[in-house]
Structure 1
Amino acid sequence: MVKIPLISFCKAKLIYLDDQRVEIKIPLKRKTKNHLSSMYLGALAVGADIAGGYLAYYKTSQDNRKVSLAFKSMRADFLKRPEDDVVFICDQGTLIEEMLEETFRTGERVNKEVKVTAICPSLHGQEPMANLYLTLSLKGIK
């Protein structure tokens, strides 16, 4: 995550990772706040970007596969203002593994939508503040 300076700027931290799920936390600080004292859209996009792509990175690094990873599109449903630290959750490990298997089998780029949920556990428990949908694009590199 340190290769992209904006991620460091937002102070994003990995707080949970397994084969199916990743959780990334971005603290609500002066640099990530908007004029309404909630998390700025740009910081929300950074968190969704990391959570949406990290499982693919993790899965390929486990067995030394290389993959070209990009996002083709993004949309979001904002449900509540995130007025404290935000945790971004992507639990689509099975879908991402299927994408990886397909791209390495066919040699073609594979595009699928992954869902990232943003929550503020300290204020609202597991209630979503936003649902972000990113079209993850993967191509295996041989």
Structure 2
Amino acid sequence: MKLFNLFSETTKYTLFLRLFTLLKVPSLFYVRPSVHQLDERTCTIKIPFKRRNKNHMNSMFVGVLASGADCTGVLAAMHKTQMKGVKVGFALKSMQVDFIKRAEGDTYFTCVQGLDIAQYVKEAMITGERLNRPIKVIATCPDSTGDEPVAAFTLMLSLKSMTKK
């Protein structure tokens, strides 16, 4: 365990994410997401611009973009449930997306609704009912477009307490 403590927080989160995706979502493991930032407010995932993630137009494949947004939203929710030590089942119920530009570089998916998600988790624990809440994820390619978004996602996060009453 001492060796594990030598890693930075983002490296630990990336190792967790990679293990989780390898065991539970192998297609997501294949695109090699890594955690760039994960704290109480922000979750940012990076997906590299490699051959496996490109389409025939030399931009990121739409399925990879959707996977990155899904991964970001779910990881933000997982982080909140682990911080609180509660069991909440969550899934993405729907997704709306606006593709603004071609993603032609390493792509960062950012959700800044960490505090809102923490509140959603709290509401799900109190009510015991399934709640559906929208969360936003913005994709950017800093190397090619700077801070300008290449895609904007709205994910419907569905939460339900898994604690027996």
Q: TM-score range by the shorter chain?
A: over 0.9
Q: 2:140 aligns with which of 119, 127, 131?
A: 119
Report the counterpart of residue 14 of structure 2 in structure 1: none
5+ unaligned residues in a row in structure 1: which ranges? Answer: none
Q: 1:74 aligns with which of 95, 99, 105?
A: 95
- How far the C-alpha of 1:120 sits from its partner, in A, is 0.2
5+ unaligned residues in a row in structure 2: which ranges? Answer: 1-16
2:80 is equivalent to residue 49 of structure 1 = no
Matches within 5 A, 1:1-142: 1=17, 2=21, 3-142=24-163
Q: 1 or 2 for the larger relative contact order (CA 8 Å, sep ≥6)? A: 1
- The structure richer in strand per residue is 1
The root-mean-square deviation of aligned C-alpha atoms, in Å, is 0.9
SS at match of 1:50: helix
- Aligned positions, number: 142
Question: For the residues of structure 1 that align with 2:67 and 2:112, how far apart are their CA atoms?
Answer: 17
Identical pairs, percent: 44
- How far the C-alpha of 1:63 sits from its partner, in A, is 2.7
Greater C-alpha radius of gyration: 2
Question: For the residues of structure 2 that align with 1:19 and 1:47, how far apart are their CA atoms?
Answer: 19
SS at match of 2:32: coil
* Shift >6 Å, 4+ stretches: none
- How far the C-alpha of 1:71 sits from its partner, in A, is 0.8
SS at match of 1:11: coil
- How far the C-alpha of 1:35 sits from its partner, in A, is 1.2
- The structure richer in helix per residue is 2
- How far the C-alpha of 1:101 sits from its partner, in A, is 1.1
Question: For the residues of structure 1 that align with 2:138 and 2:83, how far apart are their CA atoms?
Answer: 25
SS at match of 1:15: strand
Equivalent residue letter for 1:133: T
Q: TM-score, length-normalised on structure 1?
A: 0.96
